[in-house]
């Protein structure tokens, strides 16, 4: 592994972001209220909850949200709110994936960069339901242990022996009160 007498390469195992992805999508839902709608007065999405799950070479975002539709019926003489919970699975491909990550150490996460929102609501052609167009976007990350290679330089390379270093930020002994066993447990 030696490059020369002065330099060596070493492998270090570290936890790093080993995969990333992003996906924007538009989905359509059909909700059938108890009364045949005449017109749509409003549509909202609330109570969005989700989690990320590793799935092969991608990450799946699994979640639910509630759709609330305010609509008129009986020739615009009455109004009501239809409520429905929608479950979904959104597969987000990874645009980058380190092939040398340790699969047994994988942790995945997702962030809704655009919360699900209704961009269009209309009465269906048969007049019995409401068609919703919903947009949503997620950014995902895969964190795992992986190996990185670092170059190790001998003392001659930097020649730091004749330099004095000043460390700003504390007096000697500032760390005497730290409980290292408690810190280790947190890690």
Query: What are the extents of the domains in the chain?
Result: 7-156
Q: In the chain, pLDDT over 90 holds for what percent of residues?
A: 64
Mean pLDDT of all residues belonging to the chain? 86
Band of pLDDT at residue 8, cut at 50, 70 and 90: confident
- pLDDT score at 125: 93
Other CB atoms within a 10 A radius of the CB of residue 139 amount to 15
What are the residues facing 153 on neighbouring strands? Answer: 7
- For residue 131, give the nearest of 23, 27, 28, 56 by alpha carbon: 28
- pLDDT score at 1: 44
CB contact at 8 A, 37 and 130: yes
How deeply is 55 buried, as exposed, middle or buried, from its count of CB atoms within 10 A (0-12, 13-18, 19+)?
middle
Scan for tokens 């000697």, then name that residue: 172
Residues whose CB falls within 8 Å of the CB of residue 64, separated by 6 or more in sequence, listed in order: 47, 48, 49, 50, 85, 86, 87, 88
Backbone angles phi, psi at 183, to 5 degrees: -65, -40
- pLDDT score at 152: 82
Band of pLDDT at residue 103, cut at 50, 70 and 90: confident
Other CB atoms within a 10 A radius of the CB of residue 44 amount to 13
DSSP, residue by residue, 51-112: EEEEETTEEEEEEEEEEEEEEEETTTTEEEEEEEEEEEEEEEE-SEE-TTS-GGG-EEEEEE
How deeply is 175 buried, as exposed, middle or buried, from its count of CB atoms within 10 A (0-12, 13-18, 19+)?
exposed
- The helix or strand, by DSSP H or E, that contains position 17, with its residue range, turns out to be strand 7-31
List the structure tokens of 164: 């004095």
* pLDDT: which is higher, 181 or 78: 78
Residues whose CB falls within 8 Å of the CB of residue 95, separated by 6 or more in sequence, listed in order: 20, 21, 22
Would you give the end-to-end CA distance of the chain in angstroms? Answer: 32
Separation in Å, CA 178 to CA 110, 118, 187: 34, 51, 15
């Amino acid at each position: 592994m030696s490059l020369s007498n002065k330099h060596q390469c070493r492998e270090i195992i570290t936890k790093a972001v080993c995969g990333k992805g992003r996906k924007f999508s538009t989905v359509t839902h059909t909700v059938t209220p108890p009364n045949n709608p005449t017109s749509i007065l409003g549509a909202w999405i609330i109570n969005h909850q989700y989690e990320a799950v590793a799935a092969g070479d991608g990450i799946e975002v699994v979640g639910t949200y509630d759709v609330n539709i305010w609509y008129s019926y009986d020739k615009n003489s009455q109004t009501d709110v239809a409520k429905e919970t929608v479950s979904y699975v959104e597969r987000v491909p990874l645009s980058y994936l380190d092939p040398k990550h340790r699969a047994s150490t994988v942790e995945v996460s997702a962030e809704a960069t655009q919360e699900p929102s209704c961009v269009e609501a209309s009465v269906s052609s048969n007049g019995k339901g409401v068609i919703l167009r919903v947009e949503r976007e997620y950014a995902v990350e895969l964190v795992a242990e992986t190996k990185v290679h670092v170059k190790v330089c001998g003392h001659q390379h930097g020649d730091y022996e004749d330099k004095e270093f000043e460390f700003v930020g504390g007096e000697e002994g500032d760390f005497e009160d730290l409980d290292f066993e408690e810190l280790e447990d947190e890690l």
